[in-house]
Chain A
Amino acid sequence: MSIEIRLPTALRAFADKQEKITVDAKNVGEALEQLFKQHDRLKQQLIANDGKLRSFVNVYVNEDDARDKQGLATPVKDGDTILIVPAIAGGSTCRN
């Protein structure tokens, strides 16, 4: 299945400046593994030490949040688009 993964501006520097990357995968987890095989610096940015996606990383399949479906097991089909979108948050709470 040919899947297009779209990266936010902040992460393209870790993927040879590419905005869109095509991978062959049957589900979200496979697609991300393919992505990381091509661009291992991205893995460091997106995956925490416990092997799970970092808390600020959102993954959408087309318009749908993968967490609302089957997470990394969410199936994808030919022509689907996976969006990686950071949750942008922070604030003055618990200042250093």
Chain B
Amino acid sequence: MSLTLNRAVEAIAAQTCEKAFPEEGCGLLIGPIPDDFDKPGRALKVDEARPLPNGWDASAKTNKYLIDPKTLAKVEAELSGSGRGVVGFFHSHPTVPAWPSPFDLTMAMPCCSYWILQVKDGKVVDSRSWQRTEDGRSFVEEEIILEG
């Protein structure tokens, strides 16, 4: 199980999250939809990171993120029939480690990669990626592969 990113995707996500600090940054991960998307061992390859505004009120943005569903629907429509899709999401954890919270688990979709970037003092210091189990009870960490 892995998430493969290129350097451009890594840079866009990192810049988004560093710019958002001390609030949480977030965005979409887009790439080809693999045939085994729902399998625990699947390998995802993301070729685009698309930053989006954090939709929570200002007071909540330091520890929560929200992606507008209508924006997500528009991106899905844009990618319709292309074989590519929104295969994951990134967001930052300002100061605290890049481990998913109970709130992350409650809201997580199956199959997708949830890439969490830990930001300390305005700089990304760690990142980890996770996939929710099909039963929704936990996350499993996946390998991040950087290429290019």
Contact = CB atoms under 8 A, between A and B. Distances in A.
Nearest to A9: B85
Interface stretch (A23-31, A71-79, A88-96): A88-96
B124 interface: no
Interface string B106-117: 111111101000
Contact of A9 (B65, B66, B76, B95): B76
Contacts of B111: 9-10, 13
A7 B108 CA distance: 16
Given A19-B80, A87-B69, A92 B33 contact: no
Interface string B32-73: 010101100000000000000000000000011111011011
Interface string A46-90: 000000000110101000000000000000000000010111111
Contacts of B69: 58, 85-88
A58 B100 CA distance: 23
A85 B106 CA distance: 16
Interface size bracket, B side: 35 or more
A94 B86 contact: no
Interface of A: 6, 8-14, 17, 19, 45, 55-56, 58, 60, 83, 85-96
Interface of B: 24, 26, 33, 35, 37-38, 63-67, 69-70, 72-73, 76, 79-81, 85-87, 89, 91, 93-97, 99-104, 106-112, 114
A12 B91 contact: no
Helix, strand, loop or mixed for chain A's interface? mixed
Contacts of A45: 110
A15 B63 CA distance: 34
Nearest to A90: B104
Nearest to B93: A92
A91 B109 contact: no
Contacts of A90: 64-65, 91, 100-101, 103-104, 106-108, 114
